[in-house]
Amino acid sequence: MDALKRPWIWVALLVALLVRIPAITTLPIDWDEPIYMESAQALVDAFRTGSWSLIFEPIVNPEHPGLVKLLYGIGFCLFGGEPDLVERLIVVRGVSLVAGLLLVLLAARFHPVAGLALAAHTLHAKYSCEGYLDAVPATCMAWSMLLAWKHRERSRWTTILLCGCLWGAAIAGKWIHGVPGLLLLFIWKDWRTSVRLGLVAMLSLWLLDPTMWVHPIERTVEMIQHHRNYALTVPQSSLWTPWVILAGGGPAVWHPEIFQWSIDGVWLALGLLGLGMQIRTPRGRFLAAWFLLPMMVLMTWETRWPQHLMVVLTPLCLGVAASLKPLLNHASRSFEPSDSHPPTSG
């Protein structure tokens, strides 16, 4: 089976590149990209000048954790620490692209159809081509979820460490992407494994987010307060806004010259169908909870921005694979070689 999967993994990667390469080079600078680039540059300057207070108490974009911005800053150092706008875009969009492609490969490794669906999903394509904060933590969280589910029967320290570190990295990138990790506390047979996993995740979060190093509790309260104050300034939206965005193929509407078509609505329908079809199985319930838990959070979240939906795309695309599995199995049986031979002329 692995040998059959392998070619399709590369097909998924090729599709992802075909969709993303034109996008990453032609998408206009989006709303938050300048903010994150400025925040990353501020981290670089603070490290270079020893202004530690500006690291532990950031002034630019204080409402978000620091891991992804730190990665952007490390990339800036490759250009001497003071890159121009083009060089900054190369770094921030390059980091997002690599993370997005890794997630496509991860989904394709789990099931080729899931990888193909994610590769062609325009919402994932847009936010894995722009310098936002979502591509990296979305990949970390998906990796942690799939790895933990695969090894849930065994409480090995290596699995706990890797899953916990990836979960912590997702939170350190952007809080919303750590929400699915709460499910990991309930899939192990031994409660002590859940405790260890949670402790590793918290330690990983603290280590990977430099803004949390000195006063983590005060910093957490500060981020919550900043978010509440910011939420008062944004336009009101409906509880159903996340569903409308998932179904509407937004990138094809916002950037028709780049994304000339979108079947995101088809992926949503097939994904929900697949999640429902396998709801009676433990794996199906896990995937459904992985999709529904963050979706419910997003519905009640004051700032229902499209990029936040990156958190639900992996389980949704795994649901697409489940919905098409009967059709693929039927096609596989129909095209199997048989012992019969064509009649010979005599």
Q: What is the DSSP string of 97-131?
A: HHHHHHHHHHHHHH-HHHHHHHHH-HHHHHHTSSS
149-183: per-residue pLDDT in tens? 999 988 889 999 999 999 999 999 999 999 999 99
Is the pLDDT at 344 greater than 70? The verdict is no
- Indicate the average pLDDT of the chain: 91
Quote the pLDDT of residue 346.
Answer: 41
Quote the pLDDT of residue 325.
Answer: 85
Is the pLDDT at 11 greater than 80? The verdict is yes
30-54: per-residue pLDDT in tens? 989 999 999 999 999 999 999 988 8
Q: Is 233 strand, coil or helix?
A: coil
pTM, two decimals, is 0.92
Q: Is 301 left (phi over 0), alpha (psi -120 to 50) or beta?
A: beta
**Block residue for tokens 């049986």:** 333
